Amino acid sequence: MKLCHRLPWLCVLALICASEFAWAQDAPPSPVLGAMKAELSRSLSSLGKQPEPPYFLSYEITETRSVSVAGSFGKLTASDENRRRQLNIDLRVGDYKLDNTHQIREGFPSFDFGRFSLAEVPIEDDPDAIRGVLWYETDRRYKQAIERLTKVKTNVEVKVQEEDKSADFSRESPEKYYENPVPVTVDRRQWEGKIRKYTTPFAAYGDIYEANATFSADSETRWFVSSEGSEIQTSQTYYRLFISAFTKADDGMELPRYESFFAFTPEGLPDDGAVLKAVGKMIDDLKALRVAPLVDPYTGPAILSGRASGVFFHEVLGHRLEGHRQKNEEEAQTFKKMLNQKVLPDIASVYFDPTLHRLANTDLVGAYRFDNQGVKARRVAVIENGVLKSFLMSRSPVEGFPHSNGHGRNQSGLAPVARQSNLIVEVSKPVSRSELKNMLIQQVKKENKPFGLYFEDIEGGFTLTGRVIPNAFNVLPVMVYRIYPDGREELVRGVDLIGTPLTAFSKIVAADDQTGVFDGMCGAESGFVPVAAASPGILVSQVEVQKKEKSQERPPILPPPFEARP
């Protein structure tokens, strides 16, 4: 995932949810889409009379209907329903070659606040009310665009020549697609009872300090129109059950444990028995983590489970393949000059596929039909047999890639850039899990190491992709084991997996035949978007771990009140 300001971009990944698609294209355009088309036409006509008229204008309205229930230690903490609509406007002055969105190269990286615009839209289908918001926001964005274009032109004149001379915006074919809104179908009262049931077991343990469960169901409907003629109406739902708890070791280290479940429908979520079994495992893991030994900084061989390696590839590879990072001169551009060169072992291929919504019996939350720039989603093979072939593209071209491949994405209120969708890692010569472990043990013996590491589960990670701060990554594991030369496994705590991208990829040795999936929310300069990462487990000949951040607060002095009861 990515939590971005621009110093340089910090990419952050955390757990989230999955989605359901209404694939049928048989819905009539809604009154919302009609209002957007009418105001788009009026705006273009009016602003066309200005000395510097827009050459492109698009509106996107996103409606979210949500139901959420939260609880802790057997009691409810929240239960509500919500509905909102938010507007995104992309208004460009200048031309496709040079426009107001062009990077202004300053002496120090800075965030472009002019491209942030979050406006609330009436939730009633009143065309006049909707058009009123569009009118005002269009006027405001036009004034900002004119002012910024002047700065862009000045900046181009006074700065050195840019390395990438590609255009600021690509020409794409307009799309027309309509589907019916997908409703959220959930019994909120029933889920209130379930949340109480799922969090009650934690209350029996005084050394578990927080234990929360959240169920959420969201329906997201998007309407998109553009001056190029696109008219798109799509809808999908998201269902999630997320459970978290943490304890604290005697030395102050906070030890979390997470479980998340996703499905296309609420009926697809696990039954009570399966969830309570997972809760029991979380409790056992937390008890074991409290007394687990610490691992000191270490370099040596390690295995990453499928979920862990999915996050590894998302952070280390995925963000560095996003198109705009090859163009932005504040970025490190790790792979820009490596097209058709080997960047992974021959056995590995990687592709991104937002049209794929299920893999390995798991829903892939990074699926969508159209991106936030109205471009149809498509599969993109970025690495074939270890060789880099392509980048993820929005409508911001880079040299050699003049068109979008459907990966322009954003959170409402932020400008879209190239972002990841469903990352899939495939290997041509997989081995069994037991064989991979034996290979690790042989590597440990060969290097005369006391142990290797096995990263079983992960909470997320982050990466730095710019030039100002070292180009590095940090994957955040929660369940890590030492594997000794005799095959014995020991749970440990207190490590983060760190490194730099090119070195890390050169150390991949083999992969197993068990694909794991990580569904999450990725935060970057265009906000948080849902993504998935799927990969087999991998053996890495050398990893580096550092000590995990540790709180200096002691565990609670007072016993919990329920332990004090007679």
CATH number of the CATH domain containing 69: 3.30.2290.10
The per-residue pLDDT for 20 is: 38
In a shared domain, residues 363 and 324: yes
Burial class (CB in 10 A: 0-12, 13-18, 19+), 123: middle
Which of 291, 322, 339 is the endpoint of a domain?
291
87 forms bridges with which residues in the sheet?
61, 119
For residue 237, being part of any structural domain is answered with: yes
465: which 2 tokens? 């992709």
Query: How many Å apart are CA 551 and CA 19, to the nearest integer?
Result: 36
Task: For the chain, 566 residues long, give each residue's pLDDT as a single digit of tens.
Answer: 333 333 334 566 776 543 334 444 566 779 999 999 999 999 999 999 999 999 999 999 999 999 999 999 999 999 999 999 999 999 999 999 999 999 998 755 444 545 567 899 999 999 999 999 999 999 999 999 999 999 999 999 888 888 889 999 999 999 999 999 998 989 999 999 999 999 999 999 989 999 999 999 999 999 999 999 999 999 999 899 999 999 999 999 999 999 998 877 788 789 999 999 999 999 999 999 999 999 999 999 999 999 999 999 998 899 999 999 998 877 778 889 999 999 999 999 999 999 998 998 889 999 999 999 999 999 999 999 999 999 999 999 999 999 999 999 999 989 999 999 999 999 999 999 999 999 999 999 999 999 999 999 988 777 777 777 777 778 788 999 999 999 999 999 999 888 887 888 889 999 999 999 998 889 989 999 999 999 999 999 999 988 887 777 777 777 777 654 44
For residue 559, being part of any structural domain is answered with: no
Query: How many Å apart are CA 82 and CA 343, to the nearest integer?
Result: 46
Q: Does residue 290 contact residue 255 with C-beta atoms inside 8 Å?
A: yes
In a shared domain, residues 307 and 225: no
Q: Does residue 263 contact residue 96 with C-beta atoms inside 8 Å?
A: no
In a shared domain, residues 78 and 56: yes
In a shared domain, residues 284 and 312: no
Q: Does residue 524 contact residue 466 with C-beta atoms inside 8 Å?
A: no
In a shared domain, residues 331 and 222: no
Residue 16 has φ and ψ, to the nearest 5°, of: -155, -130
Within 10 A of 438 (CB to CB), how many other CB atoms are there?
13
The per-residue pLDDT for 4 is: 36
For residue 23, being part of any structural domain is answered with: no
The per-residue pLDDT for 10 is: 55
Domain ranges, residue 345:
298-547
Number of domains within the chain: 2
For residue 19, being part of any structural domain is answered with: no
For residue 16, being part of any structural domain is answered with: no
Which of 235, 270, 291 is the endpoint of a domain?
291
426: which 2 tokens? 């495939």
In a shared domain, residues 315 and 264: no
In a shared domain, residues 284 and 302: no
For residue 319, being part of any structural domain is answered with: yes
Task: Write the DSSP symbol of residue 469.
Answer: S
Question: Prior bond to 8 cis, omega within 30?
Answer: yes
The per-residue pLDDT for 335 is: 87
Closest to 232 in 3D by CA, of 300, 149, 176: 176
In a shared domain, residues 457 and 330: yes
Query: How many Å apart are CA 461 and CA 316, to the nearest integer?
Result: 10
CA–CA distances in Å: residue 304 to residues 133, 282, 285, 428, 464: 49, 20, 19, 18, 21
In a shared domain, residues 232 and 326: no
Closest to 341 in 3D by CA, of 528, 206, 502, 119: 502
- Measured N-to-C along each axis, helices 31-47 and 127-158 cross at an angle, to the nearest 10 degrees, of 50
Closest to 256 in 3D by CA, of 71, 458, 16: 458
In a shared domain, residues 215 and 98: yes
Closest to 169 in 3D by CA, of 331, 353, 390, 408: 408
Which of 269, 291, 313 is the endpoint of a domain?
291
Integer Rg of the chain from CA: 25
118: which 2 tokens? 């979050």
Q: Does residue 383 contact residue 390 with C-beta atoms inside 8 Å?
A: no
Q: What is the SS3 assignment for 28?
A: coil
In a shared domain, residues 146 and 189: yes
The per-residue pLDDT for 462 is: 75
Query: Could you give the dihedral angle defined by the CA atoms of residues 493, 422, 217 and 74, in that order, rounded to the nearest 10 degrees?
Result: -10
Burial class (CB in 10 A: 0-12, 13-18, 19+), 76: middle
For residue 159, being part of any structural domain is answered with: yes
Query: How many Å apart are CA 394 and CA 92, to the nearest integer?
Result: 15
For residue 13, being part of any structural domain is answered with: no
In a shared domain, residues 45 and 183: yes
The per-residue pLDDT for 200 is: 97
Residues 473-487 as b or e (16 or more Cβ within 10 Å = b): bbbbbbbbbbbeeee
Which pTM was predicted?
Answer: 0.91
Query: How many Å apart are CA 360 and CA 29, to the nearest integer?
Result: 35
DSSP string, 203-260: GG-TTEEEEEEEEEEEEEEEEEEETTS-EEEEEEEEEEEEEEEEEE-TTS-EEEEEEE
The per-residue pLDDT for 562 is: 63
Amino acid at 71: G
Helix count (H) and strand count (E) of the chain? Answer: 8, 24
80 forms bridges with which residues in the sheet?
68
